Structure 1
Amino acid sequence: MPGPGVAAAALLALLVPAAGLGAGATDCDVSPGSRFDCGPERLLAREGCEARGCCYVPAGPGPGPPWCFFPRGYRSYRAENVTATGSGYTARLRRVAASFLPGDVGCLRLDVLLETPARLRFTLRDPARQRYEVPLATPRVSGQAATTLYGVQVNEEPFGLVVYRQRSGQVLLNTTVAPLFFADQFLQISTSLPSHFISGLGEHLTPLVLDTAWTRVTLWNRDMAPVPQVNLYGSHPFYLGMEDDGSAYGVFLLNSNAMDVLLQPSPALTWRTTGGILDFYVFLGPDPKSVVRQYLDVIGFPFMPPYWGLGFHLCRWGYSSTDITRQVVANMSAARFPLDVQWNDLDYADAKRDFTFNKRSFKDYPEMVQDFHRRGLRYIMIVDPGISSSGPPGTYKPYDEGLKRGVFIRNATGQPLIGKVWPGPTVFPDFTNPETHEWWHDMVKDFHDQVPFDGMWIDMNEPSNFVEGSQDGCPNNNLEHPPYVPGVFGGRLQAGTICASSQQYLSSHYNLHSLYGLTEAIASHDALLRVRGTRPFVISRSTFAGHGRYAGHWTGDVGSNWEQLYYSIPEVLLFNLFGVPLVGADICGFAGDTSEELCVRWTQLGAFYPFMRNHNDHGARPQEPYAFSPAAQAAMRSALHLRYSLLPFLYTLFHRAHSAGETVARPLFLEFPQDRNTWAVDRQLMWGAALLITPVLEAGQTKVSGYFPPGTWYSLAGVGAPLTSPVAARGLCCGALCAFLHPTAGTSPPGLCSGLVPHPPSLVAIRGSQQWAGTPSGMQHPAPALSSFCCHLGLHHPQQRAVDPPASSPGHHQRPRPRRAHPAAAGARVQHCRVPQEGHGLGGGTDTGRLRQGRPVLG
């Protein structure tokens, strides 16, 4: 590998022939962990395997090496005519041997773009035919970086691309390890990995670090209660890897088709997608926080939520009248629990139809919401994308108007596709159509004129469908039955959703399916901004790369059990890596009965979710904080008070995410990448660089253990108090603690203004790197730890009551630059961190559906 001193321009033109491998050479002496599957679409017997020119070696049962695998030097494409361009270089790839796939593309164009010193992009396209590409707005770079952290080599035959770090020579991407495939509905490319540490590739119920021992990760958005090893609500084809020296890198495949990502122990990774093009970004870091920032430079920085959105939210499917909803709010107040946002599930809607309310059980619905506003509360209700289509003409405006304006997804005959969701027969808005955005805005405005809600909860937007495909089924064609079907739950692309062959404004649903939630989030964000003129607040179940620019996410219908409590931590951490920092799980669990102990522990952890909401199913036991014993209520109240005392700090972290591409909740390895002990820690989380949380995650525990990297840590138990609760803090910066702030009346959200929040605790320091175990006192809050968070990380605006901003806001890559306050003087005293006003350029972005080259662009 060339050393760091070799110029990037020279590296780009380097062609390396495959030494010692003639045409058709076969070498089956491949170690089991390095075998790449030669029968991805079906199980092959020896005869079928060898007919493909592949090797057949039976292995043991269960997950493990493929029995049929590619030999060394398997021929696919040859690189020719490497040519320098103003932005990098280009090459022609020619297929030198027919593959076993239908619709093989014989000639490809490779473009390598040296976009920034730390960001490389390369694409593989069919030059003879325009194929679907993800319509996500990404940076347009003119010219190329003069110097880079990376070097690139091209292997001539078989074609492969090698990307390595200039400083160390560490190979980050090496696609020569297995052949490239590019057919109409099957694209595959493999790479080696520099280490076994790989994190990302959501959304799945998974530990923070993925298992490289023959793991398949499927991306295809699906309405599915979270269980391990199943494709869930979102698709984020991005991973972050660590190198042995503590450096970090990232890879993003901009592709929205159904796909599998396969991990194997060599270690290596295979991307296997069913359409589109191969459009890769490689991020060089060199530290993990820089990798995340570089990724967000491509997909967009997160929106800035309103201050009230960081308070406590309460919901339940089963608040079946305004009387019950009002009583819940009254009970919270009587029990002295802070509450900022009250929600309603489908119960409010007339026959479960969007933009309606039940005139009997919710007869005073507008008055209830106005009364909440007078009390300082905000209000949010659920909105599903499925629009009821069963009523007589002229009786339901959203359907009548949508039909007239042509905004619904169409079936193969050109008629609106009819599925079935909560209201019965439904049609589905096509949010890739600009007219749909206008129609959606009009429906939101009409309903807001009746009921002045403050935000939107968009659910069922994978999109979910209670019948497979449509009420009339799906056509028997190659979009419904592609030659390769990834490991989607249900075994078919249309399982639990609409027909893949249905048509949308931009393309087929086959291509656009996993973008549905993102496109609805964009339309909802835009509608709220126009209707309310203030910073939008949208929470969505379905997500895709770039979602955090418009909305937050809750992790769906999690079960009320201890396993799901644990999994909520890596979920929150991963979505912060994905650029969706406003994320949280349903506190106490959604499905099934919680227990008092579980609900207390979940509330204690949930106090440190960036988005904090208690929500559960109508068939489960009540789980509002006041529904439990006095001892449990005291523990939950303490956790909520601690969160509210930290809101100025949390709000500052969100502004850093919005303006600088940082994370809010983050894994320990982001702060301590050189400490390998932190890399796999996913039972703890941090808020920024300052706060470490180590919660109780198992039943009946009186002790909790966590890892504290080297440094000075502080106890929240109080000066002079023994370290007998799982609370510690890290000493940073100037040593002045300024995250624990006791706001005064009139300066904060309603939960703070109630006067229920106690004064912040003091700190006592310990030193060293250690595994720490503490004994919680009764059912007190779990293990948060706070480092000194200096005011030079804060903003130079006086703290005030949250006020929504004007409608103006910065664009995609025009982030407001916060003014710096002077660093606080060193010392162990409490400082007041200042928080930003909500009218100073903190909006989340208004350009939600621009036109580029005659078609909508997302973002």
Structure 2
Amino acid sequence: MQTSESIHPDKNTEKGSKTQHGRQVGTVRQVLQRSGYLELLCDGVAIVLQFVHPQILRMRVTGSLVVANTSSTAAVALTSVVPVEATLFEDEGYLQWATDFLLVKIYKERFKLEVYDVEGKLIYSLESIVSFANGQTIAQVSKFSLEHFYGLGEKTGFLDKNGEKYNMWNSDVYAPHVPEIKALYVSIPYVLHTHQNGVYALFIDNPSESVFDLQSSSDTYQIQTAVGDFDAYCITGKTMKDVISNYTVLTGKIPLPPAWSLGYHQSRYSYMNQEEVVDLAKTFREKGIPCDAIHLDIHYMNEYRVFTFDNGRFPNPQGMVRTLGEQGFHIVPIVDPGVKRDPRYEIYREGIAEDHFCKYIEGNIFYGHVWPGESAFPDFSDDLTSAWWGEKHKFYTDIGIQGIWNDMNEPAVFNTTKTMDLEVIHRNQGQPKTHFEMHNLYGMLMTRATYEGMKTLLKDQRPFILTRAGYAGVQRYAAVWTGDNRSFWEHMEMSVPMLLNMGMSGLAFAGADVGGFAHDVTAELLVRWTQLGALLPFFRNHSALDTARQEPWQFGDKVESLCKSAIQLRYQWLPYLYTLFFEASQTGIPIIRPLVLEYPEDPNVTNLSDQFLLGKDILVAPIFRPSMYKRLVYLPKGRWVNYWSMEECEGEAYRVVDAPLEIMPIFIRKGAILPEHPVAQSVSFQNVETLSFAIYGVPLDQPYRYTLYEDDGVSYNHLQGGSNLFEVSLEPVSVNQARLSYRYLQYGYQVSYSSRVFKFKTLKTPERFVVRGMKRVEFAELAHSEQGYALNSSKNEVWVKLSADLSAAVLELEWGEG
């Protein structure tokens, strides 16, 4: 016997019977000019156009024809949207809407949108929008000649994403991390498009699943959103840097982190008990290897309950944190979102009583299996829940902890879908949405709750937050690491273009697990990865349970010495690195940069994926293969100095350079003035005795200038003027004469060091170097002199020393011809 189910329409197997038929946005029927925006009423949809910045156009496509929706997700920094007045011109066939920077042309008969710059060049062309009854939207955007695509956040593959296709869906991917994996832990639906006419970026603020297809057509690329409004921001600027900076005006910039978080972090899944952690710290100090942070993975907890310690494994966590703090270490514990279902567990009881957990629409709580077993998940879309979660971190701050590591916050769940049920409802501040609609926001909202809670609890101390998952704007709250990589040479190589694109997507504070998380590292791979990691924004060595240990000393004296040297180089360059972090906090420009960002006209660097720049002055060329002791390095325009040999090289050329195991090729841009600190065991700007500047620009062919940023590295005093901007200039006077000067551009922080030393490198005849009006002394005497200059014959350099009490000085320099 058959029932009516036998004629269910979905059982019809005729070809095409299940095909979703979309409706292309067609004729613009009505144009409504509102205060600060335009509303276009089209067939079946409304399109809201809004200039949120003189160089950023927002276009929101919604099914509602009643009320224009100009709200935004948590990705957009609330203070960044300031509507811009624009002039509207309407003709029979099209509209023109213009600011001082952009002209937007909208075709009325068959909706199409074009953006032109002030020179009349077509920068961006939206060819069509198709909407579907199931909530999907597909947009077709024009491609151009001589084009390249960057950004897209945390994605595998090479630097240039042209010809690729990626999904935006935060995913717990333990394995495999290979180029064909289209979605990882962080989703940034943002693409930076450079072409013959200029550059722009497109940010699609839709935290559900989306697809960026840059491979299926040679004429257009396609963006598909699964559900919800198609909310697109076209971000323009004259250069790639301008566009990135404008994008971070929209989504926010990194806060200046605590200086200690820029140091070396040591982690393992897991350091099992208090004794092991204390011994680990002791070994670092005995061996003289700098280290600032030790991370605690899930085994520190009582049966993986967040906001607990296992009293058997860690009998005195407060004493441990205090003792290690006195030695310069910070403890960073892991905190996951899953709260164990246990009526005796205080956090769970509170969450139930105060209604903090995610639920289905019928009111029953969603439970998922993670490390503690069956667990509930806080609904971070609700401000009360976020505040509750943030306050719970008092458990950590009360014992002296200042850093938190958020993991498993995609959210990861041990089930077939690998995440929370898509029908779960998030309260979303009174505008409920399903998890399907908000999935990619979950990790960021958790991180925001963590950051804001820690910031409140620590009062005048800056917190450090590390997250695995995130969405656009997560940079306002946390550093990001690239998740569970492997101890493979290929994974080390893959991390560079991934991190470079993350930087161009606003995630300036990012890194990959040094040595690789899973699999067994080899001695050579550990050395090469430590050399690379030492010059990345976030520097952590992390390894998995039951894998070879990979602390720097695990492979004998030689490997230990080489890892130690790499770590020491980072600590030496900390003032340079910290200044780059300050610049990123002000401009959004990334700390590590693909060469194309600084040399956009050079066709050799558009897809250069195995080199990068630290700032604009240091070029890094890592070694990505075993038993490889030479490599080809491309040097861009200008002259470059080999850091190890001091050989000067002409740019716009390839060079084969030596790379024995103790050397990762590094080149310094000629003219660079690099600040340096004495190597310390941990970061403390209050204990620096001497500030040095290494100068790579004599003889001179042009003026050089560098501005150092300084503050206490700990507090928020810099926001009230408690910081310095210290400018050093070197200007040519004649063929063999120059003028060195320095001054404070801003002064508000009392430095600890008593002297400044200027180290002149790349001198052909250093013995003929003269500083007029200053006494020349023997090099051994310089350390005991308040000021003077001396030849450091061991390095073929001249060092000039002055008292730090001098807030400004001008020195006349002269050298003989070689």
TM-score (norm 1): 0.75
**Corresponding position: 1:180 with 2:103:** no
Alignment match, 2:50: 113
Q: Residue 834 and residue 362 in structure 1: after superposition, are their counterparts in 2 closer, same or farther (change >3 A)?
A: farther
Q: Residue 447 and residue 118 in structure 1: after superposition, are their counterparts in 2 closer, same or farther (change >3 A)?
A: closer
In 2, Cα distance between equivalents of 1:521 and 1:211: 31
Aligned length: 698
SS of equivalent residue, structure 1 residue 640: helix
CA contact (8 A) 1:119 1:283 kept: yes
Q: Could you tell me how far 1:266 is from its partner in structure 2?
A: 1.2
In 1, Cα distance between equivalents of 2:602 and 2:596: 7
CA contact (8 A) 2:480 2:510 kept: yes
Alignment match, 1:790: 705
Residue type of the partner of 1:48? G
**Corresponding position: 1:826 with 2:731:** yes
Instruction: Tell me: higher relative CO, structure 1 or 2? Use CA pairs within 8 A at least 6 residues apart.
Output: 1
Q: Which string of whole-angstrom CA distances, capped at 9 and with x for unpartnered residues, describes residues 686-723 of structure 1?
A: 12222211111112111122221111212212557997
Q: Which string of whole-angstrom CA distances, capped at 9 and with x for unpartnered residues, describes residues 35-91 of structure 1?
A: xxxxxxx9x9996399999xxxxxxxxxxxxxxxx9xxx965222223444535332
**Corresponding position: 1:664 with 2:591:** yes
**Corresponding position: 1:332 with 2:284:** yes
Q: Residue 128 and residue 809 in structure 1: after superposition, are their counterparts in 2 closer, same or farther (change >3 A)?
A: farther
**Corresponding position: 1:144 with 2:144:** no
5+ unaligned residues in a row in structure 1: which ranges?
1-41, 54-69, 95-106, 469-494, 769-786, 811-815, 841-859
SS of equivalent residue, structure 2 residue 425: coil
CA contact (8 A) 1:150 1:163 kept: yes
SS of equivalent residue, structure 2 residue 731: coil
Alignment match, 2:60: 123
Instruction: Answer with 822-831 or 679-688: which moved more.
Output: 822-831
**Corresponding position: 1:586 with 2:510:** no
Q: Could you tell me how far 1:93 is from its partner in structure 2?
A: 0.7
SS of equivalent residue, structure 1 residue 825: strand
**Corresponding position: 1:253 with 2:192:** no
In 2, Cα distance between equivalents of 1:593 and 1:836: 49
In 2, Cα distance between equivalents of 1:616 and 1:160: 51
Residue type of the partner of 1:303? P
Q: Residue 216 and residue 717 in structure 1: after superposition, are their counterparts in 2 closer, same or farther (change >3 A)?
A: closer
Q: How does 1:83-482 map to 2 (within 5 A)?
A: 83-87=32-36, 89-94=38-43, 107-128=44-65, 134-138=73-77, 139-145=80-86, 147-167=99-119, 169-176=121-128, 180-195=130-145, 196-212=147-163, 215-225=164-174, 226-228=177-179, 229-244=181-196, 247-263=198-214, 264-389=216-341, 391=342, 393=343, 395-449=344-398, 451-468=399-416
SS of equivalent residue, structure 1 residue 706: strand
SS of equivalent residue, structure 1 residue 729: strand
CA contact (8 A) 2:212 2:222 kept: yes
Q: Residue 572 and residue 744 in structure 1: after superposition, are their counterparts in 2 closer, same or farther (change >3 A)?
A: closer
Q: Could you tell me how far 1:730 is from its partner in structure 2?
A: 1.4
Q: Please state which structure has a larger fraction of its residues in strand.
A: 2
Residue type of the partner of 2:269? W
Alignment match, 1:782: none
2:447 to 504, 521, 527: 521
Structure number, greater radius of gyration: 2
Instruction: Answer with 297-306 or 434-443: which moved more.
Output: 434-443
Alignment match, 2:715: 804
Q: Could you tell me how far 1:197 is from its partner in structure 2?
A: 0.8
1:550 to 474, 477, 493: 477
In 2, Cα distance between equivalents of 1:283 and 1:761: 38
In 1, Cα distance between equivalents of 2:340 and 2:187: 27
Alignment match, 2:666: 727
In 2, Cα distance between equivalents of 1:252 and 1:809: 30
CA contact (8 A) 2:123 2:199 kept: no
Q: Could you tell me how far 1:762 is from its partner in structure 2?
A: 7.2
CA contact (8 A) 1:207 1:682 kept: yes
Q: Residue 832 and residue 543 in structure 1: after superposition, are their counterparts in 2 closer, same or farther (change >3 A)?
A: farther
CA contact (8 A) 1:715 1:729 kept: yes
Q: Could you tell me how far 1:242 is from its partner in structure 2?
A: 1.0
Alignment match, 1:35: none
CA contact (8 A) 1:584 1:609 kept: yes
Alignment match, 1:749: 683
In 1, Cα distance between equivalents of 2:725 and 2:686: 26
CA contact (8 A) 1:606 1:612 kept: yes
Q: Could you tell me how far 1:511 is from its partner in structure 2?
A: 1.3
CA contact (8 A) 2:200 2:236 kept: yes
Q: Residue 531 and residue 135 in structure 1: after superposition, are their counterparts in 2 closer, same or farther (change >3 A)?
A: closer
CA contact (8 A) 2:104 2:116 kept: yes
Q: Could you tell me how far 1:421 is from its partner in structure 2?
A: 0.5
After superposition, the CA RMSD in angstroms is 3.5
SS of equivalent residue, structure 2 residue 426: coil
Q: Could you tell me how far 1:809 is from its partner in structure 2?
A: 5.8
CA contact (8 A) 2:511 2:539 kept: yes
CA contact (8 A) 2:617 2:672 kept: no
Q: Could you tell me how far 1:365 is from its partner in structure 2?
A: 2.1
CA contact (8 A) 1:548 1:581 kept: yes
CA contact (8 A) 1:805 1:839 kept: no
**Corresponding position: 1:738 with 2:674:** yes
In 2, Cα distance between equivalents of 1:542 and 1:306: 21
Q: Could you tell me how far 1:835 is from its partner in structure 2?
A: 12
Q: Could you tell me how far 1:135 is from its partner in structure 2?
A: 4.3
SS of equivalent residue, structure 1 residue 248: strand
Residue type of the partner of 1:417? F
Residue type of the partner of 1:728? F
Alignment match, 2:541: 614
CA contact (8 A) 2:728 2:740 kept: no
Q: Could you tell me how far 1:736 is from its partner in structure 2?
A: 5.5
Q: Residue 241 and residue 831 in structure 1: after superposition, are their counterparts in 2 closer, same or farther (change >3 A)?
A: farther
SS of equivalent residue, structure 2 residue 443: helix
Residue type of the partner of 2:409? N
Residue type of the partner of 2:705? C
Residue type of the partner of 1:452? G
In 2, Cα distance between equivalents of 1:235 and 1:561: 24
Q: Could you tell me how far 1:397 is from its partner in structure 2?
A: 1.0
SS of equivalent residue, structure 1 residue 794: strand
SS of equivalent residue, structure 2 residue 668: coil
Instruction: Answer with 186-195 or 376-385: which moved more.
Output: 186-195
